Structure 1
Amino acid sequence: MKTLYAHRGMSALAPENTLAAFSLCAEHGLKWVECDVDILADGTIVLCHDDTLDRCTDHSGSLYDFTREDLEDIDAGSWFGDEFIGEKLPTFDQFITLMNILKLNANIEIKACTSSWENTEKLISGVIEGMKNLNKDASVLISCFNPLVLAEFKRRCPDIPVACLFEAEMPTDWLAIMQACQSDTIHVADEGLTKAKVEEFKGLGLEVNVYTVNSLMRANQLFNWGVDGIFTDIGHQFPSRYRQE
């Protein structure tokens, strides 16, 4: 069974990493979503890809300078379209609640918190605590570009699967990194990915997921090569066999 991961929610139809974007996933039959989590100044875990608010909200400045109290004043939807004016930057707890209501599964990407390692550890702790409220039948996969973060998460939660995230130019010791993180799932960039590379990954018994694929033709090619899953912004455009409408 091939898996579609809705990249930051249904981000072609709604502002990324918002409850609106994740709600649309359920409407279009996508059961797996991908989100990014980071931490505010007061320890609140929120969904946000960038470490600044400039790109996807009506505010600017470092994410790490804001607190939960500020969230009510931050508009995370108007940049995308007038119909999303007032959409908020969701907390991780709100996301977990929505997952439970809509019966979603999630790839949770822990951002390599740029403020400090201390805050990164608090972020890991917050994610672990938040997931305790998740429905028992929900599936989660934790990913990160920083192997130190993954290794620390795995140390604390050995039973939860983790995926190593790599840029297009992978380090030569990528397999050793995966082994150190106790990961058997690899997330790789679509850019420059070849059939031979996919076969190498699969030959090692790895689950292979590719980001970010917004071409149906390319997605079909990747699936034919043996890729297990893809991250996409356009999950609503995929054939029904990939969705559960």
Structure 2
Amino acid sequence: MTIIYGHRGAKGEAPENTLTSFQECLKHGVKRCELDLHLSRDGELMVIHDPTLKRTTDRRGKVVEHDAADLMTYDARKGGPGWVQPCPIPRLEELFEKCAFDHWQLEVKSASRTRAATTVLAIREMAQRHGLLDKVTITSSSREVLRAALELTPDISRGLVAEYAWLDPLKVAQGYGCEILALNWTLCTPERLKKAQNQGLHVSVWTVNEPALMRRLADFGVDSLITDFPGLASATLGKY
């Protein structure tokens, strides 16, 4: 059975990484999501993909140069599918309070050692407060982030985000005690998939938006796929 994760909520249907997007994902009955985190200037976990505001809002500058209270007033509809209502940048806490997902892949972008430590500790504190320790996985392509998670928050599961094959992703995942391998779908060969699963990894492939590709990867036996169109994926993989 291939599980579906909504990518940044339902990125293909609503403005990515906004409360609206995660609500759309849930409307399709898709109860798992993937999202991206950056810290605000005052140390709040903000849900936004880029380190800068330019692509998704009409603002300039880095996320880390703005306080959470201000970031929460910025409209993040820019560049996504058309949406009538403003969609502000949410705090992770708001999503934890308003969205009942069964599992969250929380991707932390590459960060300095200090920032990585601050971020993983903030995630742990918030997940614990909301009773979600067993429902979150900290994922990253950054060794610094995975190292911090392994050392400082060992009770939260970890996942390696692998986009390129120049390093053996299975070896890296093993080195940081990961449970999930979030693999760019182009790297997902039947051989690598089998090897990863034999190693005890849950293999989650991204970003899968074409029905034919969804079916092919489900036939390969991937554990889950991350998609911009959770409704389409749900309809396509209904029988899988």
Which TM-score applies when normalising by structure 2?
0.90
The CA distance in 2 between the partners of 1:42 and 1:129, in whole Å, is 16
Verify the 8 A CA contact 1:78 1:87 in the aligned structure 2.
Answer: no
Structure 2 CA distance for partners of 1:26 and 1:137, relative to 1, 3 Å: farther
Verify the 8 A CA contact 1:11 1:233 in the aligned structure 2.
Answer: yes
Is residue 133 of structure 2 the alignment partner of residue 148 of structure 1? no
Verify the 8 A CA contact 1:75 1:85 in the aligned structure 2.
Answer: no
Fraction of identical pairs, as percent: 26
The CA distance in 1 between the partners of 2:185 and 2:216, in whole Å, is 11
Counterparts of residues 56-75 of structure 1 (less than 5 Å): 56-75=56-75
Is residue 8 of structure 2 the alignment partner of residue 8 of structure 1? yes
What one-letter code is carried by the residue in structure 1 that aligns with 2:53? L
Is residue 179 of structure 2 the alignment partner of residue 181 of structure 1? no
Counterparts of residues 113-152 of structure 1 (less than 5 Å): 113=111, 116-135=112-131, 139-152=135-148
Matched residue, 2:51: 51
SS at match of 1:58: coil
SS at match of 1:132: helix
Structure 2 CA distance for partners of 1:157 and 1:216, relative to 1, 3 Å: same
- Structure 2 residues without counterparts, runs of 5 or longer: none
Matched residue, 1:109: 107
What do the CA deviations read for 1:142-198 (whole angstroms, capped 9, x no partner)? 2100123112212233232211111132404x3332222111321111124322222
What one-letter code is carried by the residue in structure 2 that aligns with 1:40? S
RMSD: 2.2
- Structure 1 residues without counterparts, runs of 5 or longer: none
* Deviation, structure 1 residue 72: 4.3
The CA distance in 2 between the partners of 1:242 and 1:19, in whole Å, is 25
Moved more, 232-241 or 36-45: 232-241
Matched residue, 2:161: 165
Verify the 8 A CA contact 2:36 2:47 in the aligned structure 1.
Answer: yes
Matched residue, 1:212: 207
The CA distance in 1 between the partners of 2:134 and 2:84, in whole Å, is 28
What one-letter code is carried by the residue in structure 1 that aligns with 2:110? A
The CA distance in 2 between the partners of 1:123 and 1:159, in whole Å, is 15
SS at match of 2:125: helix
Verify the 8 A CA contact 2:162 2:182 in the aligned structure 1.
Answer: yes
Is residue 220 of structure 2 the alignment partner of residue 225 of structure 1? yes
What one-letter code is carried by the residue in structure 2 that aligns with 1:10? A
* Deviation, structure 1 residue 53: 0.5
The one of 234, 241, 244 equivalent to 2:229 is 234
What one-letter code is carried by the residue in structure 1 that aligns with 2:116? T
What one-letter code is carried by the residue in structure 2 that aligns with 1:216? P
